[in-house]
């Protein structure tokens, strides 16, 4: 069987993760041109290849997180320059959302550095969600692990998406995080689905994992049933004071391969270029769009790390003959 016919046929239902792992590994190992061709073919069959969704991410509660994620400058376990800040007020968040909307963003994502929100926190975040929803924007939140009933509260407030990343492959997960398990993450995703909220779930590459382990992450994401509506692909941003500050920077073409395989395995998902775009450069970003990425985080900051400026993004899209999705 040729590699092309093995990939372009409809994906098998995600029953056995090992099947997905084999598929993801074979895709990542394809000659670059063949992989890009297949990814572009899948992308054009499911999306307008000239459109990119613009999303903005705001840290509504920064620092002081009890988790020990090795990549995160907001962890209390790491000595970084990130200061603890309380949950923002409604008027502050609304002001940021209005700026994002005026700049072209259609989705507004709110992130809080919690292991998981308390019930009083959910009530306050629900107010923020309702306020942003009132502006006519899609709403997304990432607040850590959810307890029973919390997702329903957020859904009632108008939350469209909940982000909870798997981060990496199961077999590499313990090298990055020890304070929560892989199953904890899957349980939160199940609660989100049960409440009728769309899932935003992706991961981070460039944390020292092997290509096989990157395939493992993609296989796990593709095995979620149903598959995530939104899949953010992050390149590690190396922050001084975190355990991964000295990690080797990922090869930009390897990042593009990851995006391409995500597109092939999850043909109906929005694939978002997230953290680490600044280090990739414009040429690699252009290849990511060719590989099927059709959303970017837009604005000058992602939670606590830098991001390309909005004007630079607009200029790049214009040079590529692409446009923001309305």
What pLDDT, on the 0 to 100 scale, is given for residue 222? Answer: 97
**Annotation marks residue 201 as catalytic:** no
For residue 325, which of 54, 26, 37 has the smallest C-alpha distance?
Answer: 54
Q: Which residues pair with 111 in a beta bridge?
A: 59, 142
**Annotation marks residue 212 as catalytic:** no
Pairwise CA distance, residues 99 & 265, whole Å: 35
Q: What's the CATH class of domain 22-317?
A: alpha beta
Q: In sequence order, which ranges of 29-133 are alpha helices (DSSP H)?
A: 32-46, 90-102, 119-133
**Annotation marks residue 109 as catalytic:** yes
**Annotation marks residue 214 as catalytic:** no
**From 20, 109, 185, 238, active-site residue:** 109
**Annotation marks residue 65 as catalytic:** yes
Taking only the tens place, the pLDDT of each residue in 168-222 is: 999 999 999 999 999 999 999 999 999 999 999 999 999 999 999 999 999 999 9
**Annotation marks residue 200 as catalytic:** yes
**From 200, 214, 257, 277, active-site residue:** 200
- Report residues of the chain scoring pLDDT below 70: 1-17, 299-308
Give SS3 for 66: coil
Where are the chain's structural domains?
22-317
**Annotation marks residue 288 as catalytic:** no
Does an H or E element contain 53, and which? Answer: strand 51-61
Cis peptide before 312 (omega within 30 of 0): no
pTM above 0.85, yes or no: yes
Pairwise CA distance, residues 177 & 165, whole Å: 13
């Amino acid at each position: 069987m040729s590699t092309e016919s093995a990939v372009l046929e409809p994906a098998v239902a995600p029953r056995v993760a090992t099947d997905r792992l084999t598929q993801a590994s074979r895709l990542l190992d394809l000659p670059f041109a063949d992989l890009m061709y297949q990814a572009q073919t899948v992308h054009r069959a499911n999306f307008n290849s000239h459109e990119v969704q613009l999303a903005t991410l705001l840290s509504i509660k920064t620092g002081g997180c009890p988790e020990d994620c090795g990549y995160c400058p907001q962890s209390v376990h790491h000595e970084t320059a990130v200061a603890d800040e309380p949950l923002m007020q409604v008027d502050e968040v609304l002001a940021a959302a209005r700026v994002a909307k005026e700049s072209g963003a259609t989705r507004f994502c709110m992130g809080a550095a919690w292991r998981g929100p308390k019930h009083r926190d959910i009530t306050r975040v629900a107010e923020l969600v309702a306020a942003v929803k009132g502006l006519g924007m899609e709403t997304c939140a990432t607040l850590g692990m959810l307890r029973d009933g919390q997702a329903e509260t957020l859904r009632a407030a108008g939350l469209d998406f909940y982000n909870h990343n798997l981060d990496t492959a199961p077999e590499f997960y313990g090298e990055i995080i020890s304070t929560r398990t892989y199953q904890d993450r899957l349980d939160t995703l199940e609660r989100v689905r049960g409440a009728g909220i769309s899932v935003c779930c992706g991961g981070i590459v460039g944390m020292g994992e092997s290509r096989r382990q990157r395939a493992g992450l993609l296989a796990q994401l593709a095995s979620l049933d149903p598959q995530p509506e939104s899949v953010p692909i992050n390149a590690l941003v190396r922050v001084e004071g975190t355990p991964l500050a000295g990690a080797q920077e990922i090869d930009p073409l390897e990042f593009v391969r990851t995006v391409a395989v995500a597109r092939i395995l999850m043909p109906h998902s929005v694939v978002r270029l997230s953290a680490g775009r600044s280090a990739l450069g414009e040429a690699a970003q252009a290849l990511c769009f060719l590989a099927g990425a059709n959303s970017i985080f837009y604005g000058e900051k992602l939670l606590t790390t830098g991001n390309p400026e909005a004007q630079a993004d607009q200029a790049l899209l214009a040079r590529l003959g692409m446009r923001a999705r309305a």
